[in-house]
Amino acid sequence: MTPAARSSPVDTEPDLLLILRSAADPETFGRIFDRHADAIHRYLTRRVGRALADDLTAETFLIAFRSRHRYDDDQPDALPWLYGIAANLLRGHQRTEVRQYRALARTGVDPVPWSTPGVPQEEHVVAGQRVP
């Protein structure tokens, strides 16, 4: 056994206790992140890709942190709760995307503002035509 392994005990404390303790010591919630962030990120990456998954993972844990006072005391494991938050964020993202695509189809104007750093907007080309 390495010295590092001997000095850092295995984290076996139930999620419920960590969440309850985080009310008085918010830094304790970081252990929930350490335990479950990879699983949530993998879940989100499979659905929306790595770049957006990074943002949604962060948002999932921010929402969880802010709503930890409503955590169900009957659930010792926080992972299903976190998956639920992530799934709700995915649904919201998908609804927004659908609205944006419908607006694009209806108007022909992309509702999402975009630009490329260092390239003036008049230099952008869409479908062979300059963007006004």
Q: pLDDT tens digits for 49-83?
A: 999 999 999 999 999 999 999 999 999 999 999 99
CATH of the domain at 95: 1.10.1740.10
Is 96 within a domain? yes
Average pLDDT score over residue span 97-114: 77
Output the pLDDT for position 86: 98
Output the pLDDT for position 33: 97
Distance, CA of 22 to CA of 117 (rounded, Å): 41
Distance, CA of 84 to CA of 87 (rounded, Å): 5
Question: Could you tell me what percent of the chain has a pLDDT over 70?
Answer: 76
Is 17 within a domain? yes
Distance, CA of 65 to CA of 17 (rounded, Å): 14
Is 126 within a domain? no
Find out whether 82 and 71 touch, Cβ atoms under 8 Å: no
Domains contained in the chain, number: 1
Is 58 within a domain? yes
Is 124 within a domain? no
Is 32 within a domain? yes
Burial code (b: 16+ CB inside 10 Å, e: under 16) for 109-122 equals eeeeeeeeeeeeee
Average pLDDT score over residue span 116-128: 53
Around Cβ 7, how many Cβ atoms within 10 Å?
A: 7
The burial class, CB within 10 Å (0-12 / 13-18 / 19+), for 44 is buried
Is 77 within a domain? yes
Q: Which residue has the higher pLDDT, 119 or 111?
A: 111
Q: How confident is the model at residue 39 (pLDDT cuts 50, 70, 90)?
A: very high
Output the pLDDT for position 123: 52
Is 65 within a domain? yes
Range of the domain at 40: 11-110
Find out whether 98 and 111 touch, Cβ atoms under 8 Å: no
